[in-house]
């Protein structure tokens, strides 16, 4: 199924020189791949479901702190009454798997479509593999859920949006890259991974 994601602003490749910004931009997704990227007015004539977003559409982000967040932090189940913030807590592999799944959901809520390992716990490796998020090598740096913390948008994107590439994108309630960098990725409105809308902000 074709889906056209239209946004007030589009930056398809934040790491490119001068990072061109397209006002009223769009990304046409065909299954798990990007079919077309450009201004909405120049979109291909296609019978596509359309999603309209009010903010800034960019490629999905890479969280370099994946190993820290999924293996050295525990993401509580709301029924445990341990609060909402990740904790440093030693738990069984079974609980570690549940924690990793909740952590991955929280990462999707920050526009994350790729996480950095390495992942030593089998339960965490399984959770990452089943999530669809790309797992990439990392140095195990200590950090939080926000992939923009201390990093520019150009540094945080996993890969650019281009025709033929993976349909992994995020939309944020921001009017520019600079505003997004100031506010952080917690203003995420939507995360699309493998062409599927896996997170939508309330």
Q: What is the pLDDT of residues 33-50, one digit of tens each?
A: 999 999 999 999 889 999
Q: In what order do the strands lie in the sheet with 61-63?
A: 61-63, 112-116, 134-136
Per-residue pLDDT tens over the stretch 164-199:
999 999 999 999 999 999 999 999 999 999 999 999
Percent of residues, the chain, with pLDDT higher than 90? 79
pTM above 0.75, yes or no: yes
| pLDDT over 80 (residue 76) | yes
> Rounded to an integer, what distance in angstroms lies between the CA atom of residue 76 and that of residue 144?
15
Q: Please state, in angstroms and as integers, the Cα–Cα distance from residue 25 to each residue in 37, 168, 174, following that order.
A: 8, 16, 14
pLDDT bin (cut points 50, 70, 90) of residue 94 is confident
Percent of residues, the chain, with pLDDT higher than 70? 100
pLDDT bin (cut points 50, 70, 90) of residue 95 is confident
DSSP-assigned letter for residue 60: P
| Domains and their CATH numbers in the chain | 2-60+157-200 (2.30.40.10), 62-136 (no CATH)
Mean pLDDT for the stretch of residues 118-145: 93
Task: Return mean pLDDT, the chain.
Answer: 93
What residues are paired with 170 via a beta bridge?
58, 191
Per-residue pLDDT tens over the stretch 135-170:
999 998 899 999 999 999 999 999 999 999 999 999
| pLDDT over 90 (residue 64) | yes
């Amino acid at each position: 199924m074709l889906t056209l994601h239209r946004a007030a602003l589009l930056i398809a490749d934040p790491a490119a020189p001068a990072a061109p910004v397209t006002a009223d931009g769009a990304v046409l997704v065909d299954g798990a791949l990007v079919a077309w990227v450009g201004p909405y007015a120049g979109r291909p004539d296609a019978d596509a479901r359309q999603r309209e977003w009010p903010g800034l559409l960019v490629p999905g982000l890479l969280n370099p702190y994946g190993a820290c967040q999924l293996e050295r932090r525990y993401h509580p189940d709301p029924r445990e009454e341990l609060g909402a913030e990740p904790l440093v807590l030693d738990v069984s592999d079974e609980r570690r798997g549940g924690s990793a799944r909740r952590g991955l959901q929280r990462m999707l809520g920050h526009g994350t479509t790729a996480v950095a390992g390495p992942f030593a716990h089998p339960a965490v490796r399984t959770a990452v593999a089943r999530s669809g998020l790309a797992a990439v090598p990392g140095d195990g740096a200590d950090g939080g859920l926000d992939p923009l913390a201390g990093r520019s948008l150009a540094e945080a994107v996993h890969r650019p949006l281009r025709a033929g590439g993976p349909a992994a994108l995020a939309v944020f309630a921001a009017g520019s890259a600079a505003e997004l960098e100031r506010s952080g990725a917690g203003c995420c409105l939507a995360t699309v991974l493998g062409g599927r809308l896996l997170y939508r902000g309330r």
